[in-house]
Amino acid sequence: MSIRIIDPADRVSPYLSQCVEVLPNVKEDMCALRRVVLEQTPIPIRDLEVQVALFPESMIRMDPSTGEPICPAGTEYDAVNGFPIASQDAPAVGGRAFYQPNDEFVLVPLACANLDLVSGCDGPGAVEISAQVNDFDSRVTFNGPMTVSVGEPVPAAEFYTLPTSRLQTLEPAPGQTWAGGVDDPFMGFACLAVLDDAPQSTTTLVCREATAADTLVTWPNPSDAALGKRASAGVRLSKAALDQLLAALSMPSFPEHGLTIGLVLDRNGDAVPNQMVTATAPMGSTRPPPTVQYFSFDRSMVGGTRTTGSGVWASTDAEFGTTFTATSGVGLPVSRIGGQIDGRVTIVVLQFGIGTGG
């Protein structure tokens, strides 16, 4: 969706030019537009022209440096009715209206400019979400105050990002679970985000693969036929526990681009010592091979080449999409997806003896 606010006499330098993805709602109707939030930018109080246009994804370019969408800017509007003039580059739906000082609002009538594009906007429907959340330290279900949500990370320059605006909040459900739905299908990955309700907490993510064909996405999901779709429950990590781990890693503050923290557990949820965790970068990676560090039993320092009695390990340089694997004789090899996402802690729980390949 393109929103442009311009001086009617100057169509080249807009006061606002916003291009934002509109996620379809369950009914797949125009009410989805109410989710769009205008960018906060100063607008002069004077005669203005407001343009609104909806384009299919195929007409949107991505800024290679920021990863932000770029909408077509050359739409022409009829001087009489304000609707887009039909052309090869016309939007599916659009319209324009004018603001004058003292107007309380601007009503922009919209019309179909290209019926073929409108017909191509049908979506695959809602995705059902179900999740459990465990505590990192106790490894049992956590029911304290927290926010649980779900979203799909997106690449931005060198690192992935998952801003709060892309997260859909879940609601408490029976059986100590969280449930909800998302209107937009997942295109590659899905991450369960858990934010402890304590000051200065950091959001944790447990991620798995998910595609447009998935109408139900769950955490945990230990037995999927597709290795990349297997995942543990979500994980709540207290600020105190995170601070302890960062101190052991000699990090005075949380790293800008995030990090991965992991656990190796047996089928009963107890830490497994003497385990080597391997990190396999995603296909096509151009970064140096990812590394893994192991925490001491009391988690006060890192060192060695295998887990201690704490079962805790970390990777500070693995890009998102890295596959982490534990392969010792406690059980079959178990693998999960992790890696850096800006401002987040990605949690990878490698638990033997449950599900497929564990």
Q: What's the pLDDT at 124?
A: 43
For residues 319 and 259, what is the distance between their CA atoms, to the nearest angstrom?
A: 9
Cis peptide before 222 (omega within 30 of 0): no
pLDDT at 123: 46
309 and 298 Cβ atoms separated by less than 8 Å: no
Residue 117: its pLDDT value, please? 60
Q: Looking at residue 65, what is its pLDDT? A: 87
Residue 115's pLDDT is what?
63
Write out the two tokens for 231: 């995942």
Give the pLDDT score at 116: 63
Residue 156 pLDDT: 87
Paired strand residues for 232: none
Q: Looking at 15-29, 69-83, 158-172, which range is the least confident one?
A: 15-29
Summarised one tens digit per residue, pLDDT across range 71-127 is 988 899 998 899 999 887 889 899 999 999 998 889 999 888 766 665 555 444 479
- Please give the average per-residue pLDDT across 207-234, as a whole number: 92
Q: Give the model confidence (pLDDT) of 194-216 as tens digits.
A: 999 999 999 999 999 999 889 99
Residues 6+ apart with CB under 8 A from 256: 342, 343
Question: What are φ and ψ of residue 111, in 5° steps?
Answer: -140, 155
Where are the chain's structural domains?
A: 2-119, 127-351
State which H helix or E strand residue 243 sits in.
helix 239-248
Instruction: Note the pLDDT tens digit of each residue in 252-305.
Output: 999 999 999 999 999 899 999 999 999 999 999 999 999 999 999 999 999 999
Backbone angles phi, psi at 201, to 5 degrees: -75, 155
pLDDT bucket at 337, cuts 50 / 70 / 90: very high
Residues with Cβ < 8 Å from 109, sequence gap 6 or more? 82, 83, 95, 97
- Write down how long the chain is: 358
Would you say the pTM of this structure is higher than 0.75? Answer: no
Per-residue model confidence (pLDDT) at position 57: 86
